[in-house]
A and B are shown apart, each in its own frame.
Chain A
């Protein structure tokens, strides 16, 4: 489905990503892990650009429209399935079918606010789920996520991840939670300073090898970010 070779991406003159080769087959569930600033977001955005016609992206920059209702923000995932005329009318007078469908999506995402609520008044966790809802409503075969559960508690994150996995054939996702990656995905890719330093099926990995990977990353980086080490602690405790 996807084969990358010699991808080098620069940001402000700094090398953000340098990957010799990477291939992902259709139907795979791939988690991408690594410390902050290791190029995870850059990688998934690059993949999204390549797979765009058949992929839905749930980005950290949610791109929500503050003035629009939750319903409309989720509906935006379906803009390409309707004519512009339908979309325009739906802006003023929502149609029944998408109303039902989006109501169901909101139930699955455990969003209990009314469909008509303006996005500006939502909490951080609710906003993230609205963005996730928009990606789900695209109904694509491939889901690409950039830490889509970072503002949710781990237990709800686990439930929503199950939703995402069941609704998509292929899933490529950046994750912070190592256990979540080990338990739900087929394959794990580890990035560090823009380089791919880990790429293997989950069965060959366990928590200790992953911890080794992180320590390696840490010794390379000299100083683990505070955010990151606390996450490791959290992962150990779980």
Chain B
């Protein structure tokens, strides 16, 4: 017996760092899957799936005259949103080292575009302003951080060799900015792609972008029309390098402004009421507190404050807590599923393992899956499977898994297999997988932040996450509750942001210490993963 035990322990020694991480990830994901609501509530999913498939085989590009209009609106919201973001982010990046600026930016960033849109919708209504602000504000805060990070990394030697008495502007531009212009340009390009996706999704809250027409087409069962819209959208994102030229941007900009729907007059009284009344807790909305304060009525004041705190506590307990638990269950399950999908997708798309044609087909599939926003995928799955967490899990796993597989593939293509590579799964697992695995895992954990943010949004489709409660509060015109929950969502995002950075640093150290592999964090891949 002891000999057997010893041999067992000796075998266990081969379970290295990444194997342990993987096992933990899978067990956590399985546990979360068990507790999550994954019931399929659909009368006949196969029939519906067949209809959708038929729609994709025979897409109808001429069903609606809105097709091109919707596409153009999607582009113009994204473009104008990005321009606004640049206007906000560029000056802020110069003062980003001030803790106050950094924390305000972190807060703005931590609220998702759709939540911003929901908020602005109450103030500006269905005005283009809502869409542009919803994209421009969080993106501007992100630009501020990324630009300032980049500027900090600029080499200092150039400043030292500049002549004496150079004015501050020239000094800054020639000494710092030009150093980082290339990575910053690449980042803006990437963000523009993100803005296109966000802009499309904004249609789901009523903006006249692609999402709006997509939702109505799918809801009414016009799958041919919906499929055409989706295909055009994927083509639009896939062809950005061809039409997204810097020289053409001024033209697009003018066209975007020209094609904007007219901005309705903003009712300033409405905004005033929103800011001074609607967002306050119900018991503080009237004049009661002022009256009590001016009358020096201590008991009345304390009663009001007590009422207020019970209101907050009730909201936190009844809505925020279940919402957050739902978010975590969903995000962790989706993380495990993304992992499996990424590893499998990466292997199947490697031409050394699966052959030239299968690999190409798979790569195309991965391209499609990562181009479609999670939100739209979840919406389609929800039509098929009914409102549970399962559609959201699938959508998150497919989108993020495909993205990680795509980024890992780029690394795998650079891995030289030995001369006696046998072209089978075992050969792949010995020669390619160990090289790309640490990087893929790092990307996966980076992606967790994004997944968590997205889970909140998927709540608006009916999944019991924070977004669901925020959306219902907005729907019931309880702005105070919605804002409180948005605050909770923002705080969670900030906490996860800080925690994940610490965990990643620690795990990088641990993996290096275990001597398994150097995680060479591909900078480009990482910047593509930061949202």
> Which of B161, B164, B173, B182 has the largest number of chain A CB atoms within 10 A?
B161
Q: Are A67 and B155 in contact (CB under 8 A)?
A: no
Residue A65 is within 8 A (CB to CB) of chain B in the complex = yes
Considering the chains assembled together, what is the distance between the CA atoms of A72 and B175 in angstroms?
A: 12
The prevalent SS among residues of B at the interface is helix
Is B171 at the interface (CB under 8 A from chain A)? Answer: yes
- The CA of A61 and the CA of B182, in the complex, are separated in Å by 22
Stretch in contact with the other chain, from A76-84, A101-109, A196-204 = A76-84
Q: Which of A67, A82, A131, A138 contacts B178 (CB 8 A)?
A: A67
Question: How far, in angstroms, from A87 to B165 measured CA to CA in the complex?
Answer: 14
Q: Closest CB of chain A to B187's CB: distance in Å?
A: 14
A111-136 residues at the B interface, CB under 8 angstroms:
131, 134-135
Cα(A53)–Cα(B266), bound, Å: 56
The yes or no answer to A91 lying at the interface (CB within 8 A) is yes
Give the total of A residues in contact with B, Cβ under 8 Å.
33
- Give the residues in chain B near A62, CB-CB below 8 Å: 157, 161
Known: A84-B167, A87-B170. A61 touches B179 (CB 8 A): no
Give every chain A residue within 8 A of B170 (Cβ-Cβ): 79-80, 82, 84, 87-88
**A77 to B: closest C-beta gap in Å:** 6
Instruction: List residues 154-189 of chain B with CB under 8 A from any CB of chain A.
Output: 155, 157-171, 173-174, 178-179, 181-182
B163 near A91: Cβ-Cβ < 8 Å: no
B163 touches A66 (CB 8 A): no
Q: Is the CB of A31 closer than 8 A to any CB of chain B?
A: no
Does any Cβ of B come within 8 Å of A64's Cβ? yes
Task: Report the Cα distance A134→B157, complex, angstroms.
Answer: 14
Bound complex: CA A113 to CA B475 (Å) = 66
Report the separation of the CA atoms of residues A28 and B72 in the bound assembly, to the nearest whole angstrom: 69
Chain A contacts for B166, CB-based, 8 A:
79-80
Q: Is A159 engaged at the interface, CB distance under 8 Å to the other chain?
A: no
- B179 near A66: Cβ-Cβ < 8 Å: yes
* CB closest chain-B residue, reference A68: B178
Residue pair B164, A80 in contact (C-beta under 8 Å): yes
Tell whether A57 is near chain B: CB-to-CB under 8 Å. yes
Report the separation of the CA atoms of residues A172 and B134 in the bound assembly, to the nearest whole angstrom: 59
B223 to chain A, nearest CB (A): 48
In the complex where A63-B155, A67-B179, A76-B174 touch, is A88 in contact with B169 (Cβ < 8 A)?
yes
CB within 8 Å of B: which residues of A?
Answer: 52-59, 61-68, 72, 76-80, 82-84, 87-88, 91, 131, 134-135, 138, 140
Given A61-B161, A62-B157, A88-B173, list of 16 further CB < 8 A pairs? Answer: A58-B161, A59-B160, A62-B161, A65-B174, A65-B179, A66-B179, A67-B181, A68-B178, A78-B163, A79-B174, A80-B164, A82-B170, A84-B168, A84-B170, A91-B173, A91-B174
